[in-house]
Amino acid sequence: MNAQSVMKKLNALKIDIEFWHQFSQKIQDALDLASLDDETLREDLEKETIELEEEIEKRSFATMLSGKYDSDDAILALHAGAGGTDSQDWTEMLMRMYIRWAEMRNYETEIMDITMGEEAGVKSVTLSVKGSYAFGYLRSEKGVHRLVRLSPFDSAHRRHTSFSLVEVLPQIAFDNPEVQIGPGDLKIDVYKSSGAGGQNVQKNATAVRITHIPSGLVVTCQNERSQTQNRENAMRVLMGRLIEIQQAEKSEEIAVLRGEYTKAEWGSQIRSYVLHPYQIVKDHRTDYETGNAQAVLNGDLDKFMEAYLRQGGNR
């Protein structure tokens, strides 16, 4: 295992150990106060007990994040589907939703690559999400997300249904032994970044396109001004996709042997966001739902993620 990966795991363990030392001390302090049998301390003790119970619940939830890459950073790729401009606008809404969710957790986000829509919204965007267990939480979001609303792009203001595909990949080390890339496996092209004109158009060839010849996978990255940074980001996405393919192949083999395999199709959305004629967000895998659609679109996703993981979400 590479040194960078070992140091990351070591630091994570140090943080966990420090937390439990502090948490143990909090419990002892509460017990010491309770032993005084002072009625004036009751309110403070009840408040402290509630906080301790909430922390225990949060930590017990974190134990479900035990997948191989759950503790790693994540790559989030969003792609507009059927629905034209409405779907591109929906994809941009999802991008904002995930960025807001990450901000609530103090995660670091970065746009690695983005293709804007002709009229509005985003055709596709790739985000880097860095933070403890980012991949573990976000893997619950993988799949097709459906939006039902009155279209702001329809002159008759009719109801439209839009779709966007969410990909979630782990960010793994470049020297991960599970991904073997030979010297002749990659075709790398550089070109000028596309933009909206003016200062946004790069005069130099900084955008990078990497083609993985054995699999046919193509990854592009053009958001950074540095060709080196774009190449590094594109390699991160490529390695994440190769890992995903390997895991999918293993899962399919096991499912076929068990007689359980069914191919996932584009139309099988995992979650619906209905804004008209009523408001509801419902996850079709867990049946968890809420009527506060605006809060969800502002990044309040934890209950959906928790329901998926508690149900034993695929690893």
Pair (127, 82) in one structural domain: yes
Bridge partners (DSSP) of residue 76 are 127, 168
CA 200 from centre of chain: 27
Tokens of 188: 């790398």
Q: Using DSSP, state whether 180 is helix, strand or coil.
A: coil
pLDDT digits 0-9 by tens, 164-177? 999 999 988 776 77
Helical H segments across 166-225, by residue range: none
* pLDDT value for 135: 93
Pair (274, 252) in one structural domain: no
Q: Would you say residue 138 has pLDDT above 50?
A: yes
Closest by CA to 131, choosing from 298, 15, 21, is 15
Judge contact between 217 and 196, C-beta under 8 A.
no
Evaluate whether residue 246 is within a structural domain: yes
Pair (278, 152) in one structural domain: yes
Pair (105, 226) in one structural domain: no
Range of the domain at 129: 74-171+270-310
User: Domain count of the chain?
Assistant: 3
Evaluate whether residue 164 is within a structural domain: yes
CA distance 115 to 228: 20
Judge contact between 45 and 129, C-beta under 8 A.
no
Evaluate whether residue 68 is within a structural domain: no
* pLDDT value for 225: 73
Query: Torsion angle of alpha carbons 256, 257, 260, 266, nearest 10°?
Result: -20
**Confidence band of 20 (pLDDT split at 50, 70, 90):** confident
